[in-house]
Amino acid sequence: MRTNVYIDAFNLYYGAVKHTRYKWLDLERLFARLRPHDSIQTIYYFTAEIKGPHHANQITYLSALATLPRVQIIFGKYKLKTVKCGVEKCTFPGSRLFQVPEEKRTDVQIALTMARDAWQDACDRFILVSGDSDLVPGVNMVKEIAPAKQVVVYIPARNAQRGAAVELRAAADKARILPNELIRKSQFPPSIPDGSGGFIHKPADW
């Protein structure tokens, strides 16, 4: 079956690879192993450029993904959001208000991309990598546009609570936990050609 993959990058990171040695993930290799009988057409990777000490590592990883012909990177953005500290005896200077980055647009872009691909008959099977219930409307829209299409959800999770994803499981045709063992086996080599005569090197602290 013609298959497209839609990856919620931050859900994948926080659910399956943070605090592991397996962040240098080759997405084409992963889904070739995960779906060996599917014809993978496109792997969409939805993310946003972060700020701070890990920015350089993210840019290096995105450069590595850009060498994979079937991967398309789609960017959202981070927007600063003002929140109030919920700790009653908070000692944060000033008015207990501080700013935190909030990821924007990713859920909408995933849903719109899936709906477009359903409308254009771009694939027969939709593989969604996320556990976020905000994506339920997108799954429902695919099923409304093209009822014969199959939606399979893989939930990135290393604990039962995160892996529950009850609403998303109920909306999809099938739902499974993303196999962590395949993530371990689907890493890029430490250095990969960048296509311009140079190499992209795995970050030293990964």
pLDDT of amino acid 83:
62
pLDDT of amino acid 93:
60
pLDDT of amino acid 74:
97
pLDDT of amino acid 95:
65
Tokens of 181: 């063992």
Tokens of 4: 């497209």
pLDDT of amino acid 77:
61
pLDDT of amino acid 98:
54
Report how far residue 138's alpha carbon sits from residue 115's, in angstroms, rounded to the nearest whole number: 7
pLDDT in tens, 40-74: 999 999 999 988 889 999 999 999 999 999 999 99
Report how far residue 185's alpha carbon sits from residue 120's, in angstroms, rounded to the nearest whole number: 34
Where the chain has pLDDT below 70, the residues are: 77-83, 85-86, 88-89, 91-104
pLDDT of amino acid 100:
53
Report how far residue 35's alpha carbon sits from residue 144's, in angstroms, rounded to the nearest whole number: 25
Is residue 30 left, alpha or beta, with left meaning phi > 0 and alpha meaning psi from -120 to 50? Answer: alpha
Domains of the chain and CATH, by start: 2-201 (3.40.50.1010)
Report how far residue 22's alpha carbon sits from residue 121's, in angstroms, rounded to the nearest whole number: 34
pTM: 0.88
Burial of 206: CB neighbours in 10 Å, binned 0-12, 13-18, 19+? middle
pLDDT of amino acid 104:
56
- Please give the single-letter amino acid code of residue 161: Q
pLDDT of amino acid 202:
98
